[in-house]
């Protein structure tokens, strides 16, 4: 279900949370895995695809590229019998992550034209590392008129390359190179590869399609090219960032909540950070439980590539820091401008001092409800968290940012006891 642009969320703060919540499939796993279905003319079935505007955009892009696409709740079936080589500008410009069709189109068709993704509120979103990888595989890359044009008439050749950039490794860049290299002639070695669980999940899907990949989930991935790939079925991993967001909610207010259908191993640094603050977290094989702790201590964190502290949890931890009666600090090294949430949290009374890419939060000052504006996906989640504890009513405008990446967040929070409702703005 995608919200209209003009919807808002009204939250009455102070309602205690309790009970259980099922975590959805991962948005950041679903997007590249859906793109990977372009690599075969056979039928693919992807399960646990969350119902988000971002995943729905990707389905529209696959359809516009010529694939037959069907979605029945969380199950998506794709048959890319024939595929056009040009990704439609009007769709690609709306979602940066659509850049991940670059690799499969190049791998399958040996050419493609994909519009340069725009930047977004968390900062400039360059793709130079993606293009470095394509060139290393022997493709000719031209960027003009806002389009990336890739041609590899003689096919792609395996190569050794390093995809590390000044802000570390690139998740979608690693995905794109992997999706092109699986059909290249010979061996590809990606040094400085992103090690995120979503990269490993994509590799596991490609291996089910007949690809030969070793080392996914580490910083060195080796791919043996094959002649063609066949259809496969796959269930995407749990969304570790949605899970981390709910862990923050459970730490901030209520009598304790339990998250089900999660993979604790994908959240180890988030769990360790919460435990270091003094929050008690019980870990099951696919569940996590947490409750508030009035004596929790502040934290001092820096965002890093996986397995370091994830940038996608930075805003949510800023909101958590507001309710810890101590000082905390968080430094953002992946997207240094990713602090859209700070000004809005300060409107609610948060005491935050932003110096460059570091935020210092003095927690404990009571938050008060206020009209605030959602901006990027995770900043918006931070505002919802703050609204749950703020005194009085908070109105969060531009709800579509939340619907991009959180499946039914308001309904899941309401089921845990939160008092909120979605209204036209």
List the catalytic residues. 120
Whole-number Å distance between alpha carbons of 162 and 119: 24
Q: Which of 219, 252, 405, 413 binds ligand EPZ (CB under 6 A)?
A: 405
Residue number, 128 or 300, with CB nearest to ligand EPZ: 128
Number of residues that make up the chain: 425
- Rounded to the nearest whole angstrom, what is the least distance from the CB of residue 55 to ligand EPZ in the complex? 10
Which region among 77-85, 165-173, 251-259, 340-348 touches ligand EPZ (by CB under 6 A)? 165-173
Q: Which of 21, 65, 80, 129 binds ligand EPZ (CB under 6 A)?
A: 129
> In 293-312, which positions are buried (b, 16+ CB within 10 angstroms) versus exposed (e)?
eeebebbebebebbeebbbb
Q: Which of 8, 48, 291, 378 binds ligand EPZ (CB under 6 A)?
A: 378
Q: Which of 11, 116, 172, 259 binds ligand EPZ (CB under 6 A)?
A: 172
Which region among 143-151, 162-170, 207-215, 365-373 touches ligand EPZ (by CB under 6 A)? 162-170
The pairing of beta strand 75-79 with beta strand 43-47: antiparallel
* Residues in a beta bridge with 328: 361
Whole-number Å distance between alpha carbons of 124 and 413: 32
Size of the site for ligand EPZ (CB under 6 A): 24
Q: Which of 25, 50, 173, 244 binds ligand EPZ (CB under 6 A)?
A: 173
CA distances from 144 to 114, 147, 149, 150 (A): 11, 5, 8, 11
Residue number, 129 or 229, with CB nearest to ligand EPZ: 129
Residues 6 or more apart whose CB falls under 8 angstroms from that of 72 comprise none
String marking each residue 198-217 x if it binds ligand EPZ according to CB under 6 A: x-------------------
* Residues in a beta bridge with 323: none
Axis crossing angle, helix 27-36 with helix 53-64, rounded to the nearest 10: 10
- Rounded to the nearest whole angstrom, what is the least distance from the CB of residue 222 to ligand EPZ in the complex? 20
Residue number, 367 or 402, with CB nearest to ligand EPZ: 402
Q: Which of 47, 94, 149, 167 binds ligand EPZ (CB under 6 A)?
A: 167
Which region among 3-11, 63-71, 123-131, 277-285 touches ligand EPZ (by CB under 6 A)? 123-131
Residue with tokens 């570091």: 358
Which region among 10-18, 107-115, 169-177, 284-292 touches ligand EPZ (by CB under 6 A)? 169-177
> In 323-332, which positions are buried (b, 16+ CB within 10 angstroms) versus exposed (e)?
bbebbbbbbb
Query: Looking only at residues 260 through 299 of this chain, which bind ligand EPZ when binding is defined by CB under 6 A?
Result: none
Structure tokens at 320: 């958590």
Q: Which of 43, 125, 360, 362 binds ligand EPZ (CB under 6 A)?
A: 125
Query: Looking only at residues 302 through 361 of this chain, which bind ligand EPZ when binding is defined by CB under 6 A?
Result: 311-312, 334-335
Which region among 58-66, 128-136, 183-191, 363-371 touches ligand EPZ (by CB under 6 A)? 128-136
Whole-number Å distance between alpha carbons of 384 and 99: 29
Number of Cβ within 10 Å of residue 285's Cβ equals: 8
DSSP string covering 212-229: EEE-BTBSEEEEE--S--
Residue ranges in contact with ligand EPZ by CB under 6 A:
28, 31, 97, 125-130, 165, 167, 170-173, 194, 198, 311-312, 334-335, 377-378, 405
């Amino acid at each position: 279900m995608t919200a209209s642009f003009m919807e808002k969320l009204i939250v009455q703060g102070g309602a205690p949370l309790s009970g259980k919540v099922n975590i959805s499939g991962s948005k950041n796993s679903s997007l590249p895995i859906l793109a990977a279905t372009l690599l075969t003319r056979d039928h693919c079935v992807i399960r646990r695809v969350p119902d988000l505007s971002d995943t729905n955009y990707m389905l529209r892009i696959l359809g516009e590229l010529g694939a037959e696409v069907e979605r029945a709740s969380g199950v998506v079936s794709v048959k890319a019998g024939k595929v056009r080589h040009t990704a439609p500008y009007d769709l690609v410009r709306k979602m940066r992550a659509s850049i991940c069709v670059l690799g499969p189109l190049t791998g399958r068709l040996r050419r493609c034209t994909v519009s340069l993704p725009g930047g977004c509120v968390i900062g400039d979103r360059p793709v130079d590392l993606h293009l470095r990888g394509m060139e290393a595989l022997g493709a000719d890359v031209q960027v003009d008129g806002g389009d990336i044009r890739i041609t590899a008439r003689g096919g792609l050749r395996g190569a050794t390359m390093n995809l590390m950039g000044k802000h570390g490794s690139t998740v979608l860049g690693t995905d794109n190179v992997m999706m092109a290299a699986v059909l290249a002639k010979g061996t590809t070695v990606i040094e400085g590869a992103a090690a995120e669980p979503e990269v490993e999940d994509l590799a596991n899907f490609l291996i089910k399609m007949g690809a030969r990949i070793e080392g996914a989930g580490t910083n060195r991935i080796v791919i043996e090219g094959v002649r063609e790939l066949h259809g496969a079925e796959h269930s995407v991993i749990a969304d570790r960032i949605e899970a981390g967001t709910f862990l923050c909610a459970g730490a901030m207010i209520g009598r304790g909540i339990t998250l089900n259908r999660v993979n604790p191993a994908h959240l180890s640094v988030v769990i360790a950070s919460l435990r270091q603050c003094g929050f008690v977290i019980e870990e099951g094989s696919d569940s996590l439980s947490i409750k508030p702790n009035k004596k929790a201590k502040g934290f001092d964190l820096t965002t890093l590539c996986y397995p370091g502290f994830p940038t996608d949890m930075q805003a949510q931890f800023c909101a958590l820091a507001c309710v810890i009666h101590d000082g905390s600090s968080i430094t953002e090294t992946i997207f240094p401008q990713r602090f859209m949430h700070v000004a809005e949290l300060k409107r609610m009374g948060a005491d935050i001092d932003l110096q460059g890419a570091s935020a210092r939060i003095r927690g404990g000052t009571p938050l008060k409800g206020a009209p605030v504006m959602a901006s990027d996906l995770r900043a918006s989640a931070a505002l919802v968290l703050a609204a749950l504890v703020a005194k009085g009513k908070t109105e969060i405008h531009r709800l579509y940012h939340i619907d991009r990446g959180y499946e039914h967040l308001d309904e899941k929070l309401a089921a845990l006891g939160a008092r909120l409702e979605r209204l036209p703005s």
